[in-house]
Amino acid sequence: MNFKLLAKTMAVLILFCVFSTSTFAGQVEVLHWWTSGGEAKSVAILKGLLEKEGHSWKDMAVAGGAGENAMTVLKTRAMAGNPPTAAQVKGPAIQEWAREGLLANLDPVAKKENWDKLVPSVVTDIMKYQGHYVAVPVNVHKINWMWCNPSVFIKAKAKIPTTWAEFETAAKKIKAAGFIPVAFGGQAWQEATVFESVVIGQAGAAFYKKALVDTEPGALNSPQMIKALKTFKMIKKYTDKNAPGRDWNMATSMVIKGEAAMQFMGDWAKGEFTAAGKNPGTDYVAIPAPESAGTYLFNIDSFIMFKQKDKSAQQAQNAMARLILGKKFQEVFNVNKGSIPVRSGIAKASFDDIALRSMDEFAAAAANGTLMPSMAHGMAVYPAVQGAIYDVVTEFYNSDMTAKEAAAKFVTTIAAAK
């Protein structure tokens, strides 16, 4: 008797569960690698917003390797025919996933929410495959910043440089005063980050596009490129000997402690200064890398959305896409992460000065056509081509190779990677 009752209760419970999931809520399973403090908090906000609308969130955070581990998981899942609802994938890699025919069409949401108006077209182009939205942008990081410790400049009686000629004069003085002029981390991605800041600054946004976005052989092996390579190598003279292998945040802490005068790094370096209790403007100064004022190299995180068979899962997916570009999430997420919103029309009150400056520059650069995707951060070219450029840049920086040889090698190595 008791057993019968139990069985009945169970049956009702199971039925209830089945119905409850299929009728009023869809689930999104999200693969991402935002696991550190501020980032995890930001993801939790998106989760909360989705749950408020009645959808459930299945977290699939894969930490480590700057997303490399997450990508391995994603590939395995996709090959098994069981991809998640959304995954953190950015840049031209979006096109590679779309080409495999796995991504959902987000045009209905995009049209309703007017994404084309809110987001610059340089950015939406990356999110679209054959004219259809397959991904949602989340946030914008600016790459071509230079972080300076003004007290080191004062001690060395040097001026914070805005051109590469000024940079060399200042660096000589700083070195003579016993400081390290440039805090540098000798890892391939950091070398590429500095390199692209030099290229866009010295040779301009139009040349940058031809060389590092469209990878035209004529631009890659050109006098401008050779000049940029020489400038890039010149920086090495003003770094310390222990730079190889150093992590970026260790380099930032050298600037914070006043051992080094400047670092070329994206806006995530701000988090290190903030965590050390430093104030912008007095303790540290962030300005565009020499000669790159007015240009904007961006790194934009985004989520690709996989095709869903289940209707409720599709609804949940669309809701997630809408919420990501919604005002609430854009504001809270970016304040937490230290990046800036990817869409216009966000209240500016809660952002700090550096973020506000970055927002103005983002809008201005988008209007002037100097808003460029970052090569070093996988926004401009396919991972294979990016890897090829990395190889040449790092070999050139770490060996006796001449700038002329490196420029010629760009052409052959990139051709082999395509």
Partner 1 sequence: MTFQTSENLKTKISYMSDRLLPKLVVAPTFVSTIVFVYSFILWTAWISFTKSRLLPRYKLEGLIQYIKLFTNDRWWVASKNLFVFGSLFIIICIITGLLLAIFLDQKIRIEGALRTIFLYPMALSFIVTGTVWKWILNPSIGIAKLMHDMGFLSFHFDWLVNSDMAIYTVVIAGVWQSSGFVMALFLAGLRGIDDSIIKAAQIDGASLPRIYLKIIIPSLRPVFFSALMILCHIAIKSFDLIVALTGGGPGYSSDVPATFMYSFAFTRGRLGLGAASSMVMFGAVLAILIPYLYSELRSRDNE
Scan for tokens 């200064």, then name that residue.
Answer: 273
Angle separating helix axes 311-324 and 327-337, nearest 10 degrees:
60
**What is the token pair recorded at 130?**
């054959």
**What is the token pair recorded at 283?**
């303790």
Q: Which of 38, 150, 186, 280 lies at the binding interface for partner 1 (CB under 8 A)? A: 186
**What is the token pair recorded at 160?**
């914070």
Tally: H helices and E strands in the chain? 19, 13
Cα–Cα distance for residue pair 190/376, rounded to 1 Å: 8
Cα–Cα distance for residue pair 144/162, rounded to 1 Å: 12
Cα–Cα distance for residue pair 376/212, rounded to 1 Å: 9
Is the Cβ–Cβ distance between 389 and 368 less than 8 Å? Answer: no
Q: Which of 79, 206, 347, 364 lies at the binding interface for partner 1 (CB under 8 A)? A: 79
Nearer to partner 1, 51 or 100 (CB): 100
Q: How far is the CB of 300 from partner 1 (least distance, A)?
A: 19
- Listed ranges 75-83, 275-283, 295-303, 346-354: which one lies at the site for partner 1 (CB under 8 A): 75-83
Nearer to partner 1, 72 or 350 (CB): 72
241 binds partner 1 (CB under 8 A): yes
Nearer to partner 1, 5 or 80 (CB): 80
Nearer to partner 1, 95 or 312 (CB): 95
Q: How far is the CB of 242 from partner 1 (least distance, A)?
A: 5
Cα–Cα distance for residue pair 330/321, rounded to 1 Å: 12
Neighbours of 206 (CB within 10 A): 13
Which neighbouring-strand residues pair with 97? none
Total binding residues for partner 1 by CB under 8 A?
33
* Rg of the chain, C-alpha, whole Å: 24
Nearer to partner 1, 129 or 153 (CB): 129
Q: 3-class SS at 58?
A: strand
DSSP annotation of 135:
E
Q: b vs e for 95-116, b when ≥16 Cβ sit within 10 Å of the residue's Cβ?
A: bebbeeeebbebeebbeebebe
Is the Cβ–Cβ distance between 298 and 142 less than 8 Å? Answer: yes
Q: How far is the CB of 304 from partner 1 (least distance, A)?
A: 12
| Binding residues for partner 1 restricted to 221-240, rule: CB under 8 A | 240
Q: Which of 64, 218, 223, 244 lies at the binding interface for partner 1 (CB under 8 A)? A: 244
Cα–Cα distance for residue pair 49/324, rounded to 1 Å: 10
Q: Which of 53, 59, 96, 283 lies at the binding interface for partner 1 (CB under 8 A)? A: 96
217 binds partner 1 (CB under 8 A): no
Nearer to partner 1, 291 or 301 (CB): 301
Q: 3-class SS at 182?
A: strand
Q: How far is the CB of 292 from partner 1 (least distance, A)?
A: 25
Q: How far is the CB of 253 from partner 1 (least distance, A)?
A: 13
Q: Which of 20, 21, 72, 169 lies at the binding interface for partner 1 (CB under 8 A)? A: 72
Nearer to partner 1, 245 or 345 (CB): 245
Cα–Cα distance for residue pair 303/290, rounded to 1 Å: 33
Q: Which of 31, 71, 94, 146 lies at the binding interface for partner 1 (CB under 8 A)? A: 71
Neighbours of 169 (CB within 10 A): 13
Nearer to partner 1, 182 or 335 (CB): 182
Q: How far is the CB of 244 from partner 1 (least distance, A)?
A: 4
Give the DSSP letter string of 222-256.
SHHHHHHHHHHHHHHTTS-TT-BT--HHHHHHHHH
| Binding residues for partner 1 restricted to 381-410, rule: CB under 8 A | 382-384, 386-387, 391, 394-395, 397-399
108 binds partner 1 (CB under 8 A): no
**What is the token pair recorded at 83?**
């991809």
Nearer to partner 1, 253 or 386 (CB): 386
Kindly report the backbone phi and psi dihedral angles of residue 57, in degrees, each rounded to the nearest multiple of 5, phi listed first.
-120, 125
Q: How far is the CB of 87 from partner 1 (least distance, A)?
A: 13
245 binds partner 1 (CB under 8 A): yes
- Listed ranges 70-78, 113-121, 127-135, 267-275: which one lies at the site for partner 1 (CB under 8 A): 70-78
Q: How far is the CB of 80 from partner 1 (least distance, A)?
A: 11
- Listed ranges 2-10, 165-173, 184-192, 204-212: which one lies at the site for partner 1 (CB under 8 A): 184-192
Residue ranges binding partner 1 (CB under 8 A): 68, 71-72, 75, 78-79, 93, 96-97, 100, 186-188, 240-245, 382-384, 386-387, 391, 394-395, 397-399, 413, 416-417
